[in-house]
Structure 1
Amino acid sequence: MAAANPLHRQLESTKLNETITRYRPSKAFSNFAQGAEVTSLDFDDTGEFCIATGDDETLQLYDCKLGKHSKTLYSKKYGCHLARFTHLQSNVIYASTKENDTIRYLSLHDNSYIRYFKGHKRSVTSLEVSPVDDQFISCSNDDTVRVWDLRSHNCAGLLNITAPSLAAFDPSGIIFAVAAQSASAILLYDLRNYDKQPFTTFTLTDDSFLSQYSYPPRMPAWSKLEFSNDGKHMLVGTRGHAHYVVDSFAGDTAQFVYRAKRPNGPTSPKKLETSGDVCFTPDARYLVSGQGERGVIVWDSWMQADEKKTLKPFIELAENTKSMASVVSFNPKMNLFATAHKDVTFWLPEQHAPDAPSPSAAPTSAR
């Protein structure tokens, strides 16, 4: 898997390290219907726009440069979830939540459909666009993973995997991962030979840690699968008391556990699972996660984990903000991240916020 230039990564990481502790809620947008909850967030490649879907069957577009709401788009007939920008900031794909399980390709400019992607027989649980071209992957409760190309309505490839709840591309766009929670496994495929068996399978178990929360130990529901931008690690976000960071090359032999105070999924059984409340920062160093109504928590992956492979929080941001963060996404280009629950909130560094933790809490090693 291709890795980012080490010097570029170091410079970007140093820049973010100077500001990560200073993020505060900057602006909140209340564009969804009363009582509705946000189910997904995504930024376009340039970082200029953010798209959010809600269970009120609307898509909300935000201008990150101007810090304002741009437009509301309705999908009342089909519902909407997991909206993802293509490589054109004017176009998105999203999953339907009612009537059928078709994936829809939408022009935000005139709110018209460009193409439909039909094939899934049950609800789509994951939708990810390749970082380098027009291919994308979808997972569904029909026990299939499908590979598509935006230029054709025909499915380009099909994998039969039991409960393939999540999928993610690595930064090169050559490798993709599928998370099958029923097997506690992450399967890695080469996109050029995806019809073959996975070239690597990582089994994700840690009974010693999980037994602290349940007996017998049970893996919490997985909610997020993501590669870091340097391709070295994969993040498995969960609905329980931990998130997992897995070495993309060594698998569970280099597994780290991150603990958080957090809610356990949607507030109602009828609510959709969100696109995840944890993510990597663009420099691949930090993890940012919601923790219920206690604001946002940050971990520094360069710090040393303890003997139980647990990493202590680096900092808690705006602990008493009282704003639930059930969805979290970091802007790929701008110094901004977004959280959402019933509102969408943009977080920006505050100039006069407290300084970073003392050097004693600084990273002890860099992997």
Structure 2
Amino acid sequence: MQIRSEMKLTDQVVKNFRVAKVFKENTDRINNIDFSPTGDALISSSEDDQIVIYDCEKGTQKRTVNSKKYGVDLVHFTHAKNTAIHASTKVDDTIRYLSLHDNKYIRYFPGHTKKVVALSMSPVDDMFLSGSMDKTLRLWDLRSPNCQGLMNLASRPVAAFDPEGLIFAAGVNSESVKLYDLRSFDKGPFATFRLNPEKTCEWTGLKFSPDGKLILLSTNSNTIRLIDAFTGNPTHALMGHQNDKKIPLEASFSPDSQYVFSGSTDGKVHVWHAESGIRISSFPNDHLGAVQCIQFNPKFMMLASGCNNMAFWVPNMDENS
């Protein structure tokens, strides 16, 4: 598997993406994936209680860590090498901070009383955000088990940090996005964007574009919403992919913020122009199940997508030459 870092993303390059490697270690649905900030590793969590770490440069599976006791969901690398945080699917709703090197827990973050559905690591330091079905949003520091801030909301939240780690956004009730300054979030949001309430679906994920200009709202329907991060004006509703099972499908930006990638319940991967909202490609059906996880490597020309299997995609160089 050959991956490059110097290539530039163009429509032609995007259309030439092909599956280079498929991993079939998991026996159940992959529920989250996350690239390390340097792009050399990918971590996944799945419903079979496994955490799998992949070497992106070699295109190999590095190791597997089992979490049979607590289960695992929403796994994320921290900034330190060989450590991760994850939500739990068994016993309780505590967030756990894990040393991947020796499979030992460094710290626990208790507080949520229902399933954790959002986890976002600050891009700059040890802060992270968690949102739960208990209708709270919590702010944490990896160095302390105590919650640094707590917000009660009207419904299940979706939340994420901006690329500079100075503000965070919370999507509430599938109808408004609130922006908070990290240094004074207890004073309430400094901006609230009200959108038309969703009638047929729920927001299931929120992400900023890497350039900080757009906010992406993924849903449990066949619509992805893009809004302007400064004005809150809706820019596009991205459609064309399938979600007949009404499940949360992840959508992600390319590192240059030009493209949006999403999975689909028919096993395909779809790509849109972020600026125009036009769908430019749908990749062939290489997944047997619904593609719920999809992310672009932050440093290399590589895409990862997961159903029960994990697929690594790279551009087919023969078609570019």
Q: With the length of structure 2 as denominator, give the TM-score of the two structures.
A: 0.93
Deviations 1:259-317 (A, max 9, x none): 12212457xxxxxx65x4211110001001112325211111233xxxxxxx3311222
Report the count of equivalent residues. Answer: 315
Identity of aligned residues (%): 39
Over residues 5-26 of structure 1, what are the superposed CA-to-partner deviations in whole Å (9 max), with x where a residue is unaligned? xxxxxxx998111522211111
Give secondary structure in 1 for the equivalent of 2:279: coil
2:134 is equivalent to residue 142 of structure 1: yes
TM-superposition CA deviations, 1:189-212 (whole Å, max 9, x none): 000011012111112227xxxxxx
Residues 1:183 and 1:316: Cα distance change in structure 2 (over 3 Å): closer
12-21 vs 239-248, which deviates more? 12-21
| Cα separation, partners in 2 of 1:14 and 1:258, compared to 1, 3 Å | farther
The correspondence of residues 146-225 of structure 1 with structure 2, limited to 5 A, is 146-180=138-172, 182=173, 184-205=175-196, 218-225=199-206
- Indicate the SS of the match to 1:120: coil
What residue in structure 1 maps to residue 281 of structure 2? Answer: 315
The yes-or-no answer on 1:37 pairing with 2:39 is no
Moved over 6 A (4+): none
Query: Secondary structure of 2:63's match?
Result: strand
Q: Choose which of 323, 329, 337 in structure 1 pairs with 2:295.
A: 329
Q: Which has the higher strand share?
A: 2
Maintained 8 Å contact 1:278/1:328: yes
Cα 1:322–1:87, aligned 2, differ >3 Å: closer, same or farther?
Answer: closer
Structure 1 partner of 2:85: 93
Whether the 8 Å CA contact 1:13–1:285 is kept in 2: the answer is no
Alignment of 1:293-312 (within 5 A): 293-303=266-276, 311-312=277-278
Distance 1:59 1:22, change over 3 A: same
Cα distance in structure 2, aligned partners of 1:112 and 1:102: 15
Is the partner of 1:321 in helix, strand or coil?
Answer: coil
User: Which of 59, 62, 67 matches 1:70?
Assistant: 62
Q: Deviations over 1:24-65 (max 9, x none)?
A: 1110101112xx111001011111111111111111111101
Q: Corresponding residue for 2:19?
A: 25
Is the counterpart of residue 255 in structure 1 residue 238 in structure 2?
no
* 2:315 counterpart of 1:349: yes
2:137 touches 2:157 (CA, 8 Å); kept in 1? no
Q: Which runs of 5+ in 2 are unaligned?
A: none
1:113 and 1:63 mapped to 2: Cα distance? Answer: 22
Determine which of 93, 101, 111 is the counterpart of 1:109. 101
CA distance in 1, matches of 2:267, 2:71: 30
> CA, structure 1 residues 323+334, in 2 after alignment: closer, same or farther (shift >3 Å)?
farther
Asked which structure has the greater CA Rg, the reply is 1
Structure 1 unaligned spans of 5+: 1-11, 207-216, 267-272, 304-310, 356-367
Structure 1 residues 150 and 277: CA distance shift in structure 2, 3 A: same
Cα-Cα RMSD:
2.0
Q: Distance in 2 between matches of 1:219 and 1:172?
A: 33
The reply to whether residue 280 of structure 1 matches residue 253 of structure 2 is: yes
Amino acid at match of 2:127: Q
Q: Deviations over 1:209-232 (max 9, x none)?
A: xxxxxxxx7141222200001100
Q: Match of 1:194, SS?
A: helix
Distance 1:294 1:344 in 2: 12
Alignment check: 8 A CA contact 1:137 1:148 kept? yes
Q: Cα deviations across residues 42-95 of structure 1 (Å, max 9, x unaligned)? A: 011111111111111111111101101111111111111000100023000000
After TM superposition, the score normalised by the length of structure 1 is: 0.82
Report the 3-state secondary structure (helix = DSSP H, G, I; strand = E; otherwise coil) of the residue aligned with 2:256.
Answer: coil
- The residue type equivalent to 1:37 in the other structure is R
1:247 partner amino acid: D
Counterpart Cα distance in 2 of 1:255 and 1:312: 12
Residues 84 and 322 of structure 1: is their aligned pair in 2 closer, same or farther, counting only changes over 3 Å?
closer
Once the two structures are TM-superposed, the CA of residue 120 in structure 1 deviates from its matched residue by 0.9
Aligned equivalents of 2:132, 2:54: Cα separation in 1: 28
Q: Does 1:245 align with 2:226?
A: yes
Displacement of 1:184: 1.1
Conserved 8 A contact 1:45-1:89: no
Q: Distance in 1 between matches of 2:224 and 2:8?
A: 25
Aligned AA (1:283)? D
